[in-house]
Structure 1
């Protein structure tokens, strides 16, 4: 294909350059003073007239350009596309065209432009000449390429969410994280964890609709197909709806999975026993209070079991603390394996454990009796420690509540019942009674009097 524009009119007469000069004389100062590069281009591609802005843009004086063809100034890789569009205008299949292209500056550098071309015709409809508007885009293209280079190297993810609530663009790091090729056009909630999706999607939809402000900083989980796991992202959102280039919400996110894992580990450590992994006193109190509130609302009852390992000190003194730790871990496993999913097992410290029972049905005392019998039997089974067969037992104190007591009251009552169990023979369980609490208070008062008498 020739790289020249066919300039022969339909009747075979060539356009007159002098006629073009006459035709453009009416432009006057408007042509010369335009801040945008302007050129009158003959049908063969020769430059008939250029304004000072275009001369400054490509570094040639007007006298030099008058003898040149636009094909000479165009970057070779852009010429075929430009010529093809010009031929379509000449053929009447399109009225005008705009194209991003490159010109070669006089000093050899590349000038990026947006070129818009229209065809001027004679009164009888014959093609006369082209009018080209040439806008310098070098700075914009340079900035865009710098931004693309930065984004290409970023580990953080960048996305644009269009007005339709779908991703219109995503950075390479985002595509790599999600591991999908069809990122553009995907709905914003496609990759989100079900527990996070509704809130995040509704916030984005409201922001896009202009009915709510753009959410600032959000943390949520997304599925990484590349890693085949859920990842935590922390994202900031900017409103770029009015930006003609973006036309949506600009989202920048960072993978904070390790940070969230570390935070979760700290939270777990603060609320769980290091040795057994069971809830500690802080979490136990919260669980008991929560169970009590649910029981009070539903008109049901809960039970709190308080137990320890009988003669546990002898194990520590005889076999050592490491053996004692293994025994406590075994106790925790035996009890945990016999509880229901809705029950809670925790360790207060030392050899003291607590069980919280909910959902006891219409006959709570019978349900508690069955569970306690099973736990006492399980803890009576022998255990091997360092080659020695150790027999152990456990004393269990139980309190049943309708939810009107708080956690501390229930723990205190169950503790009283446990010591009453020990006093009655160990290796068994007893249900708390008010008589047990009265006896415990009497013992405390007597001990307090003895202490007062002993102090001079």
Structure 2
């Protein structure tokens, strides 16, 4: 990108052009003077001196008109030299009439006058040229100023508007549209008073009228506009008025700064100040404000209630911890019954009051005979000219009980993990070992310290590693996965492990981790194999026994059939039935007949 030319460089360029033009004019004047001299030499003697003088005036006129004073004077000098060459010799001056010298003198005088007049003309033209250049520069500055105003108006970080004297929006920028929620077209079809809160309209109109009456040059006030959605928008409005060239008023220029957030903040601060005492009284912590000497200057309601309760239980005067009492003395009096905690509290409070520490915190046991109780004391300095500190006692009994319960749960879990024979691993989604817990290091493919940071693909056989990753993927989808088995070569023999995988819940956006329980089921697999073999043997024995029973049953059925036939023949011969078959009832007979039909 070319850099703009500086004024000095422009002046130097113009000067170089002027020098070149002047030299050419000087040369042109010399040539014309020489030509006039040569022409005058060739003129016959009959030509009058006036004609020769007119011939020499031509170079003077041309160079003076083209170059001004200096070229004109230079040409006049050259013509004077030429005229001197044409003058009669010095010996002839005594006999020469005066009119021979006078015309040549007039030639020189006329040359000087013409040069002066031409210089005045050149200066006038130069002034005219400079005037036009100045007008062009002013026009260029006006254009840049208008462009800058357009950019400032359109892209300002605050709302800007041109408002007519009748209150109509003449022009608005995008920020104002954003503040009020209207499009540019909607605003231009509306008026400023129509979008002003009725409660602020009078003050706005009064200030505008003062502008119109020229009582003030500008004004600034806070007012509320009505947003397109119906809510109020607080703005800081700054207004001035512009004038036409004839002095009449043209339109208002308004700068609108959105201060809704600032107003809301100020309102919240006011409400905060008004509710400060109520908030202090509503918190559960016992709060007291100490001056730099340790004297209690303010307390909240829970502090008073606690002091009253403790004094009632201990049959003591509650005033020793109330406003006006010295809290440091109270701590000193407690040294005999709670030396460790009271001494630490006294030392911490003194360190904060003396600006030796930025804060102090102490958790202490304040258990009663009938129930446990813990408190947390926090001491923070008062950042003001008079110094002091804020002492806060918070009941942390529930937290302490929860911590104790959590500790007990951790102990129970640790004992449980030590008791169960399973290997416990924490593995991420890529298969990398994050944590290993086991009391059977001999069942690991490598020492636990060597597993951490490595992946199952690096530490396990390919088939086993693939099974683990499949189980992790399944748990990632379903939450859990059970029953997959892997075979690992350990201690010279193969061991079978059953996997149970669960996805570990994590609400911090970290990569998923999985808890993997690996149980050695080698002995169980051997037992299961032995049971399957025994079951198969038992099934074979049952089949053989079934075949034997079938044979025995068939034989018994044949005997019963033969006995039934003998009984029938005896009955036909009117003889007694030799074989009692009364035990065969109707259902037995039907079953017997059915069996015989099946055999047939």
TM-score (norm 1): 0.35
- Asked which structure has the greater RCO (Cα within 8 Å, sep 6+), the reply is 1
**Which structure has the larger Rg over C-alpha atoms?**
2
Return the structure number with greater strand share.
1
TM-score (norm 2): 0.28
